[in-house]
Amino acid sequence: MIYVIGGPTGTGKTSLATTLAKAWHAPLINADAFQMYQGMDIGTNKDLASLQGIEHYLFDVISPKETMTVARYQRDARQLFDSLLNKHPRIILVGGTGLYVKASVYDFSFAQHETNPDLSKFETMSNEQLHDYLKTVDLTSSQHIHPHNRRRVLRAIAILIATGKTKTDQELNQKKEILYPTTWIGMNPNRDELYARLDARVMTMVNQGLVKEVQTLIQQYGDHLQAFQGIGYKEMIRHLQGELDLESTIQLIQQSTRRYAKRQLTYFRHQFPMTWYEDWPTAAKQLLR
């Protein structure tokens, strides 16, 4: 049985996962896209110390120079599922990257993401021009992708060129069958309490040395890697480049984090048959009784 623990950031998913893993002697697999990157600890709220004594996977496994695609995650997670389920009655999948969860647990094909059509003719287009073009070929996708998210716009265009089908059609035609026995556990506390907790957590990250962590990363890797598009990193890079003062940067990270939590909740509500809990101690009590 795979126990999926999902929901918004800052809701105690890791605390619940580690509590269950210790009680059940169960392995734990990460489904948070940015906690896979080495050196990105404070900004991702990664707590490797809490994993001591727990068999765990896909935490801190790739350099920021690498890219963890959905297809790559699907492959790695399924290999772990197939191996671990032969030895353990329960494994735990924890994280807030809903698409990674969906790709690994469901019969979902991402082969189209691995194609590399020639996109050179789009290089000179502005973000707005690219988004306008996407509207003409895949209106539905364009309505769900922000005009400034150039990478996602280009991916949608690439899928159409490579397969002859829109990204929307590809997703609608998926079977969406669950491949593994799965129990779905969601964290969904009071919204105001969650937002206050997230604001406080951002302040804690800054006090723990987020500025220094980002400085060290960009000194080592530069500031244009895809890994640094994570919340907390992209805003702090702007601060270090002199675009924002620290107070404005903190406020922007807090705002972005709250919005991200809202999107996560919407995704998990709509995509998975979650059983929701207001807090992780209550969930742990129910699941361990």
pLDDT tens for 239-261 read 999 999 999 999 999 999 999 99
Q: Is the pTM of this model over 0.85?
A: no
Number of domains present in the structure of the chain: 2
Q: Which residues contact 116 (CB under 8 A, 6 or more apart)?
A: 158, 162
Domain boundary, last residue among 144, 172, 200: 172
CB atoms within 10 A of CB 7: 28
Judge if 278 and 212 occupy the same domain.
Answer: yes
Spatial neighbors of 102 by CB under 8 A, at least 6 apart, are 108, 271, 272
Same domain, 27 and 97: yes
Shared-domain flag, residues 24 and 42: yes
Structural domain boundaries, residue 179? 2-109+174-288
Based on the fold, state whether residues 90 and 183 are members of the same structural domain: yes
The residues pairing with 280 across neighbouring beta strands, listed in sequence order, are none
| Residues 219 and 80 both lie in one domain | yes
- CATH number for the domain that contains residue 138: 1.10.20.140
- From 157, 172, 187, the end of a domain falls on 172
Amino acid in the structure at residue 232: G
Residue 29's beta-bridge partner residues? 57, 93
Instruction: Provide φ and ψ at 55, rounded to 5°.
Output: -70, 115
Give yes or no: residues 184 and 263 share one domain.
Answer: yes
At 214, which CATH number? Answer: 3.40.50.300
pLDDT at 172: 58
| Spatial separation of the C-alpha atoms in residues 276 and 286, rounded to whole Å | 12
- Structure-token match 């800054």, residue found: 206
Residue 113 pLDDT level (bands cut at 50, 70, 90): very low
pLDDT at residue 227 is higher than 90 = no
pLDDT digits (tens, 9 = 90+) for 118-128: 788 888 889 88
Boundary residue ending a domain (120, 147, 172)? 172
Same domain, 18 and 63: yes
Q: If we measure between CA atoms, which residue out of 204, 189, 200 comes closest to residue 8?
A: 189
